[in-house]
Amino acid sequence: MTDQPFDLPAYLSRIGLSEAPKADADGVATIQRAQRMTIPFENLDVRLGRGVSIAPDAIFAKLVGTRRGGYCFEHNQLFAAALTAIGFVVRPLLARVWLGVPDDATGDAIPARTHQLLLVELPDGPWIADAGFGGAYTPPMPLRDGATATSPDGAVHRLHADAVHGWVTTRDGDLHATDARGVAQPGGGPIRQYSFTEDAVWPADIAQCNHHIATVPNHRFTTMAIVSIVLPRGFASLTDRHYRRRNGTEAVTTDITDPRVYRMRLSLVFGIDLTAEEVAALELF
């Protein structure tokens, strides 16, 4: 932990904003989108055996200072600190990610709470915001049953009250603008993204979740190299050697077979600069 005040000018510069927006719903959306378009989602330090610190100063040094990316616990804690510095009132929530999980899953098949998002208090009531969902772009939405939002990639997002899981977010759109984990519904239709409750979340809860996803065997974060970033009208992802990109009507899907191309793609598309030795240590080739 650190007692140093949040360096808002450095953060705004990192996400490409010249000044802080107003503390309203449009401001939340502006900051979230700017962060997600400039700071990649990635777990590469886990795959490189370095672990992930979620101390505020460590997150700021990594995502802002060294211009790397991070996963949800890093992204959304940085996002929360920035929103707080601007004047928003926020608190964390924990979620279950349903991508790739059957709708009728029960018991051991139900996913754990391994994702963090934010609850933001606004004059018209609470909203959810999420700068750290790596599977697709999820725009802020009011915490209201039936709330909808359309992301620039054209996908329609909805929020539903659920008797079992509290709240469920869904996405209805082109799977090319995702990391492809979603299982298309017969005849098309919305795909569940994640579910969450409004229960209080404490630092110890987040620390435990972070430790779990960074260390547990057979988890996607300990067995895969995962990177994604939001594009102006789409999304790009790199899962191990599999690259997907959609921006507007342009869509590309390919497998990278050369570590030099992988390193170049990391730099040019995602803004992550690794050495040749670091790429080799990912053991993808």
Catalytic site positions: 72, 115, 130
Q: How many residues does the chain have?
A: 285
Q: Distance (Å, rounded) from C-alpha 137 to C-alpha 140? A: 10
- Residue 274 C-alpha from the chain's centroid: 21
Structure tokens at 176: 């090319």
Q: Distance (Å, rounded) from C-alpha 197 to C-alpha 176? A: 29
